[in-house]
Amino acid sequence: MKKSLVLAMAMALGVTASAYAANPFSDVPAGHWAYDSVNKLAAAGIVDGYGNGTFGGDRLMTRYEMAQIVAKAMAKGANVDRLAAEFADELDSLGVRVAALEKKSDNVKITGEARYHYKSSDYGYASELRSRLWVNGQVNDDWTYTAMLQNVQDFSNNAGDDNVKLNRAYVDGRVGGMDVRAGRWDEVTFTGNVLDSYIDAAKVSYGDKVKLFGIAGKGASEDYLESSHDRLYVVGAEAKIGALDTYVGYFKASNTGVASYDDAGLRSFNVIGDKEIWNIGAAYSFGDFTLSGEYMVGDKDYKYANDKKASKDGWAADLAWKGAEASKPGSYGLHVGYFEQSANAFIAPTTDANTFADQGGYKGWAVGGSYAFAKNIVGVVNYYDTESKTTNEDDKVIFSELYFTF
Query: 115, 403 in Cβ contact below 8 A?
Result: yes
Report which of 343, 360, 355 is spatially closest to residue 298, judged by C-alpha positions. 343
Residue 101 has pLDDT above 70, yes or no: no
CB contact at 8 A, 368 and 241: no
Nearest to 345 by CA among 389, 279, 395, 391: 279
- Label residues 189-225 b or e (16+ Cβ within 10 Å = b): bbbbbbbbbbbbbebebeeeeeeebebebbbbbbbbb
CA–CA dist 70, 78 (Å, integer): 9
Cβ atoms of 343 and 356 closer than 8 Å: yes
Please check whether residue 351 is in contact with residue 374, taking contact to mean a CB–CB distance below 8 angstroms: no
| Domain range list for the chain | 3-104, 108-405
Q: How confident is the model at residue 3 (pLDDT cuts 50, 70, 90)?
A: very low
Q: How confident is the model at residue 258 (pLDDT cuts 50, 70, 90)?
A: low
Of the candidate ranges 8-12, 82-86, 297-301, 308-312, the one whose mean pLDDT is the lowest: 8-12
CA–CA separation, 339 vs 191, rounded Å?
A: 13
Share the mean pLDDT of the chain: 84
Residue 230 has a pLDDT of 77
- 84-89: average pLDDT: 78
Give pLDDT, residue 113: 96
Q: Vertex 71, ends 52 and 93: CA angle to 5°?
A: 100
Q: What amino acid is encoded at 376 in this protein?
A: N
Q: Residues 180-217: pLDDT tens digits?
A: 999 999 999 999 999 998 899 999 999 988 999 999 99
Does the pLDDT of residue 9 top 70, yes or no?
no
For residue 8, the model assigns a pLDDT of 59
Q: Which CATH class is domain 108-405?
A: mainly beta
Residue 15 is predicted with a pLDDT of 45
Q: What is the mean pLDDT of residues 253-261?
A: 70
pLDDT at 358: 81
Q: What's the CA gap between 181 and 201, in Å, rounded? A: 8
Is pLDDT at 376 greater than 90 in this prediction? yes
Q: Is pTM beyond 0.85 here?
A: no
Q: What average pLDDT score do residues 66-90 get?
A: 78
pLDDT score of 146: 97
How many angstroms separate the CA atoms of 334 and 380, rounded?
10
The alpha carbon of 99 is separated from its chain's Cα centroid by a whole number of angstroms, namely 23
Cβ neighbours of residue 295 under 8 Å, at least 6 residues apart?
279, 280, 281, 313, 314, 315
Asked if 198 and 184 count as a contact pair (C-beta separation under 8 A), the reply is yes
